[in-house]
Structure 1
């Protein structure tokens, strides 16, 4: 029993059944200990793929994701995936090999200070100097990753610690997760007082609803109070897309109904949301008439970006449950008529500005394709890359559960979608759920970032369906250059893309192609009916943009859509530094 073998049994004791990694010199003792163990190791083809796969595994399954790499370039290739987990609050434990302790600090082969390199992007780091450190550090790593606001924890393992005699160490005993603090009664009373006075309240739900296992409590609160709701990118699905109170996504590419409701409300009830710049637009003009009730587990988020008249720190589920009945009791109080009129106005605007899918022409309209795909696969998990297709999924996919929407939110990392889909499927495909369905929606730019993971999909026969939207450009960058940089298209041309069907075929994965709207439905049904992994290559118009759009340094009421942009002078594209003008107002 050496340190590496002790770690393998400790992983099993923590409930880990799957880990993602890539071996190398400094982590070789650990891989030797894995041989013959009950742990399922998934060999990815790049360490970044390991981090993103562990990330998707954690998000979809609600468990700690684990990834492993060697020292030096193995560890540094994990950094983007670790940062994504930190910024999106994903529980992960990252195990990296390190040179022997006697060589640390000597610039040894494949030695880098991964402990220092990752310090800003982890909740905590551990560097054991002997096998005797392993029981405490390992138990702490999992406790910290799970507790409070989740996040990634690094264990950097020197090679001599892995090889050290661990026969005297006790069996691993997991530590309990830290108890979640309950909200204080005074803050609940203060929140109730503001909510009862509001005539135009809006619920503003974020990713904390998922992290706090508070989605059901949020739905009960919304139904009981009948308060219109807007959602962030990470909160989508907290209310089903078809729910009558769901006004849609808020922010830069949010719906007009959601953005206008926030701009006009007199009370904003932020629940597990952090006032991210992509949601708020120009922060100084976000919800300008509203007082704020901010509910969050993380005290650091309350009042960080927007002053909250009432901050309710503590377990979100407990907070919502405690406020549901008292707030509902005020539904028919002195402001009952005003609230009813406000709700009707919000819902009328949502109907008036609902997305249309009757795009003219014979080419494929991506929003219509994605909406139809979500209808054909209503229980599927969708894993997105980053770009225009990410926003189209957020706007048009009929989400019913936020855990079924995997996206790189705060970091916006291209290359996330494919490996995250791998992790999600392995988290969900249990004996009791053999038909778990995962769809990766990618763009031609993002897809090539981690295309090598097609080999992982093929090796493990993972029936992931991949929809590749190909506009032969870096679409989101091209859209911004069109609108804000006088159409100076700099380094966005991808017209020399490979034959994606041939690429997929080289990995043993069948692919089909569609470029006409009348072929979309049959192509989607054939994709979903494929018995294993499959790729649908979709050609879309390079000029297609994501609408609506809130320009930089504008408030969310100053959304642009295609018709408004067309009415502007072609010779005078919108500049980022311009002040708002009448032509840009809603």
Structure 2
């Protein structure tokens, strides 16, 4: 009886105990009436740190940054009604980019559900399309097991966000706590081992391909460090070229001899042409999204296509493939390496030599070349200098969304996974700043830099208070062109240069804004002052708002216009035709 009583606790206490049992160290949140019992339980313990945000969207993005940079699930706590609806953008962002999150939302008491009570919303209904799974818990005895299931679902298979909606009376009520080891989670067991016959067929294709390319995505990073290591071993041993999506940067080192750079709409010339001209495409953990494929009918038209993904629903969803392999990337690569080595480590050396000769010719185009200036800071130059001055440090990069995001992907190099946090699928402006705080909380001694545009950054600027309160020395590197840069670029392309609401007339003085929150503010507009200003930012022991005034109408190249195939890229040399609209003809 005494042992049984020891397992009795309130629903609120169960939440905290379950977080401890799953090794959670940090939770991001904002209190409200419907979650006060949980906040009271948090107050009465010291193992889990709570980070008080200024907006619930930011709480989810912080949890995303924490998760993406550690490989652990991120956790957030929001109240009912507007607390939950404010979290929807972050949940959708995490779902699109396969980020493991466990989010707790408060709810009105069970007897009030459906009465349109104060701060009531159908949170389960609202979040069903933007979570991997969600639960409304009405029985305190079932709460602990539900939480354990939530962690399992969020982190197993293709990772993603889950949400548990908690009525207030369930938090107050007593119930029996179920230990994690006795919780029922066996009903969700994603397949992790690839079919061995299919893997053998992949090896046969590797042995004979004349123009192969590895096309890698965020799934390699989500699979863990073993997947990245195995992929590097296979790439280097075969001598095959490798490219990556925006979300996959860092899985293969940017300094690696086989690296082609990122592919896609703003990918590198050589990467896109290799994808277009290859005879074997090996997709590892990417989902063939539209930013990568361009015009589907003309995507990599002559290649044999292999797709390795733990999510069976992603295979043949957009691009039909010749060899589907459902399984975890790390397991499939491990088997492929063993089989390939056992069969004699064969590749088509003659074909590969010709293929690399062609790729080297494409590289000579120097697709990232730009016309620099000694009068105004070019955004590309700003990122070149940021890379040069920070690449040897313990560095993590987050970004907002827009031109600066693409330039960061092009000009910053990543040697390891989990060092690059960006909003890929949803393209969420306002993601980068709170994500950088989440990364800094996870890595307090690291250099964490958010590459931003002034428009994106203003969307969650209120989190300056969070950074100040919790002493996170995040660096906000704003490429300030006083424009919604990517919107303006597309208005050049499609709308005759009619800049409808794509500029800002009332920007703040970023230096004064920084100082008002106890930050350091730095403003630079002259290229000759840039290096010293960047070093001042790096060396300052606290948060910095870096206002880098850049060329206002610089365009981001290369660019595949919407609806065009990979071999119809616009380069900087096409700028005149681009700005006149002639490039669409």
- TMscore range, shorter length: over 0.9
Q: Which residue of 2 aligns with 1:405?
A: 420
Q: Which residue of 2 aligns with 1:64?
A: 73
Q: Could you say what secondary structure the match of 2:75 adopts?
A: strand
Q: Which residue of 2 aligns with 1:77?
A: 86
Q: 1:478 pairs with 488, 492, 501, which one?
A: 488
Q: Which residue of 1 aligns with 2:210?
A: 199
Kindly tell me: are residues 132 and 259 of structure 1, through their superposed partners in 2, closer, same or farther at Cα, counting changes over 3 Å? same
Q: 1:331 offset after TM fit, Å?
A: 9.2
Q: 1:352 offset after TM fit, Å?
A: 3.9
Q: 1:494 pairs with 486, 490, 504, which one?
A: 504
Give the RMSD, CA atoms, in angstroms.
Answer: 1.8
Asked whether the equivalents of residues 207 and 347 of structure 2 are also in contact (C-alpha less than 8 Å), the reply is no
The 2-side partners of 1:487 and 1:334 are apart by 50
Kindly tell me: are residues 568 and 365 of structure 1, through their superposed partners in 2, closer, same or farther at Cα, counting changes over 3 Å? closer
Q: 2:137 pairs with 128, 132, 135, which one?
A: 128
Q: Which residue of 1 aligns with 2:3?
A: none
Q: Could you say what secondary structure the match of 1:383 adopts?
A: strand
The 2-side partners of 1:466 and 1:455 are apart by 14
Tell me whether 1:185 sits opposite 2:196 in the alignment.
yes
Asked whether the equivalents of residues 330 and 336 of structure 1 are also in contact (C-alpha less than 8 Å), the reply is no
Kindly tell me: are residues 350 and 569 of structure 1, through their superposed partners in 2, closer, same or farther at Cα, counting changes over 3 Å? closer
Asked whether the equivalents of residues 139 and 174 of structure 1 are also in contact (C-alpha less than 8 Å), the reply is no
The 2-side partners of 1:473 and 1:169 are apart by 54
Q: 1:339 pairs with 348, 352, 355, which one?
A: 352
Tell me whether 1:315 sits opposite 2:325 in the alignment.
no
Q: Which residue of 1 aligns with 2:266?
A: 253
Q: Which residue of 2 aligns with 1:215?
A: 228
Kindly tell me: are residues 267 and 157 of structure 1, through their superposed partners in 2, closer, same or farther at Cα, counting changes over 3 Å? same
The 1-side partners of 2:355 and 2:341 are apart by 16
String of CA shifts for 1:138-184, please: whole Å, max 9, x gaps: 11111111111111111000000000023x43455486794752111
Asked whether the equivalents of residues 561 and 570 of structure 2 are also in contact (C-alpha less than 8 Å), the reply is yes
Equivalenced residues, count: 569
Asked whether the equivalents of residues 65 and 92 of structure 1 are also in contact (C-alpha less than 8 Å), the reply is yes
Asked whether the equivalents of residues 244 and 347 of structure 1 are also in contact (C-alpha less than 8 Å), the reply is no
Asked whether the equivalents of residues 238 and 347 of structure 2 are also in contact (C-alpha less than 8 Å), the reply is no
Q: Which residue of 1 aligns with 2:61?
A: 52
Q: Could you say what secondary structure the match of 2:459 adopts?
A: coil
Q: 1:333 offset after TM fit, Å?
A: 5.6
Q: 1:25 pairs with 12, 28, 33, which one?
A: 33
The 2-side partners of 1:447 and 1:174 are apart by 45
Q: 1:35 pairs with 9, 22, 43, which one?
A: 43
Superposed, 1:145-544 pairs within 5 Å as 145-166=154-175, 168-171=176-179, 173=181, 178=189, 180-213=191-224, 214-324=227-337, 326-327=339-340, 335-353=348-366, 355-356=368-369, 359-378=372-391, 379-429=394-444, 435-544=445-554
TM-score of the aligned structures, taking structure 1 as reference length: 0.94
Asked whether the equivalents of residues 204 and 273 of structure 1 are also in contact (C-alpha less than 8 Å), the reply is yes
Q: Which residue of 1 aligns with 2:6?
A: none
TM-score of the aligned structures, taking structure 2 as reference length: 0.94
Gaps in structure 1 of 5+ consecutive residues? 430-434, 576-580, 582-586
The 1-side partners of 2:314 and 2:499 are apart by 38
Q: 1:279 offset after TM fit, Å?
A: 0.7
Q: 1:345 offset after TM fit, Å?
A: 2.2
Kindly tell me: are residues 470 and 568 of structure 1, through their superposed partners in 2, closer, same or farther at Cα, counting changes over 3 Å? closer
Tell me whether 1:137 sits opposite 2:146 in the alignment.
yes
Asked whether the equivalents of residues 13 and 174 of structure 1 are also in contact (C-alpha less than 8 Å), the reply is no
The 2-side partners of 1:237 and 1:221 are apart by 16
The 2-side partners of 1:252 and 1:101 are apart by 48
Asked whether the equivalents of residues 295 and 313 of structure 1 are also in contact (C-alpha less than 8 Å), the reply is yes
